[in-house]
């Protein structure tokens, strides 16, 4: 492992995680809940599909983030098992950080908004994940891109010294 790999992993994953968090906060569909008797209810059946859409937006952003991080690090000439482990760990941490940032940027969690709301008041929480498996899309995509690049490039070529004479 080169000494620059940890630094490059950090320099790539942190800004991408911040970008994914902000993009997810802005692009994920908003759900409106009406509070009745201290419990949230959706009045529109179409909105239940928006719960899945928020997870889908996060998954697509994670897919793009994983591919981007792997491509940048491959262009910086990093290879080997250390790169794959670093991409997996960085992707997992970056995905969790993006999820927390996107949730934090929103107006609040649903339970907190419902507790503070009056009866028949409409509350709109920030984006939330309902399928936590989408947090694995980023690291899986990053490792898949790195392994695909290794497979395409093939084994390292050995230089054969010229024969004397």
pLDDT tens digits, 85-113 = 999 999 999 999 999 999 999 887 777 78
Checking if the pLDDT of 124 tops 90, the result is no
The continuous run of DSSP H or E covering 67 comes out as: helix 47-75
For residue 84, CA distances in Å to 140, 148, 157 come to 10, 11, 21
Within-domain flag for 66: yes
Distance between CA 123 and CA 107 in Å, rounded? Answer: 9
Within-domain flag for 165: no
Within-domain flag for 108: yes
Within-domain flag for 161: no
Contact 63, 139 (CB under 8 A): no
Q: Specify the pLDDT at position 9.
A: 92
Q: Specify the pLDDT at position 2.
A: 62
Average pLDDT, the chain: 87
Distance between CA 103 and CA 95 in Å, rounded? Answer: 12
Within-domain flag for 24: yes
Domain that holds residue 101: 4-150
Within-domain flag for 110: yes
The model's pTM is 0.84
Distance between CA 141 and CA 88 in Å, rounded? Answer: 9
How many domains does the chain divide into? 1
- pLDDT-above-90 percentage for the chain: 52
Within-domain flag for 160: no
């Amino acid at each position: 492992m080169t000494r620059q790999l940890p630094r490059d992993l950090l320099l790539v994953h942190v800004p991408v995680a911040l970008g994914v968090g902000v993009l997810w906060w802005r692009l994920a569909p908003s759900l409106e809940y009406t509070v009745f008797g201290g419990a949230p209810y959706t009045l529109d059946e179409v909105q239940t599909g928006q719960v899945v859409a928020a997870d889908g937006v996060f998954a697509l952003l994670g897919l793009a983030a994983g591919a981007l991080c792997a491509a940048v690090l491959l262009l910086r000439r990093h290879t080997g098992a250390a790169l794959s482990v670093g991409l997996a760990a960085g992707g997992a941490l970056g995905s969790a950080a993006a999820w927390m940032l996107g949730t934090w940027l929103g107006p609040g969690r649903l339970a907190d908004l419902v507790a503070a709301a009056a009866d028949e008041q409409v509350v709109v929480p920030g984006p939330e994940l309902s399928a936590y498996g989408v947090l694995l899309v980023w690291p899986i995509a990053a490792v898949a891109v790195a392994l695909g690049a290794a497979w395409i490039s093939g084994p390292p070529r050995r230089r054969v010294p010229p024969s004397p004479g």
